[in-house]
Structure 1
Amino acid sequence: MGRWFAIVAPHAPAGRQDMARARAFRAQSDQGVTYGADVWHHPCAVIDRPAQFAIFMWKDGTAADDEFVEVAPFEVHLL
């Protein structure tokens, strides 16, 4: 697997994600990510070539376990 990036955003007061404060982080193939509670995240995306990811999740059986939300289009600028 090659390089990949994670995009995250904190929750806004209205309970949605705050895309104005979204951040993207570039990672190497040997790195992993742990998201904090109440942090919205985009699905993992690769930069160099196709890849597979292993995902481990805590689930508590509530409806909030897998919450999918609509996000307006946005640009990511990697440094």
Structure 2
Amino acid sequence: MISFQRLSLEQVPWDALEAFSDRVIFQARPWLEFLRHTQGAQPVLAVVQEDGQTVGYFTGALLYKYGKTFKGWAAS
């Protein structure tokens, strides 16, 4: 079973995240801090586990404009 556990910024193992070869700038701590300071975004990070084993991490940010979440970043 796959599960997600949200992490506080203090709990995030940044070295482990940065070690993944497929990481991009938009998942990096400096980018999330930039969004937090300039846009008021709330960073969201979670550990992804399958059957109790860590298989990866989720990185994102919540951004509100005019009282609503910012749409368009993940348009399908």
Please classify the TM superposition score into its range, dividing by the shorter chain length.
under 0.3
Which has more strand, going by share of residues? 2
Which has more helix, going by share of residues? 2
Higher relative CO (Cα under 8 Å, sequence separation at least 6) belongs to 1
> TM-score with structure 2 length normalisation?
0.23
> TM-score with structure 1 length normalisation?
0.23
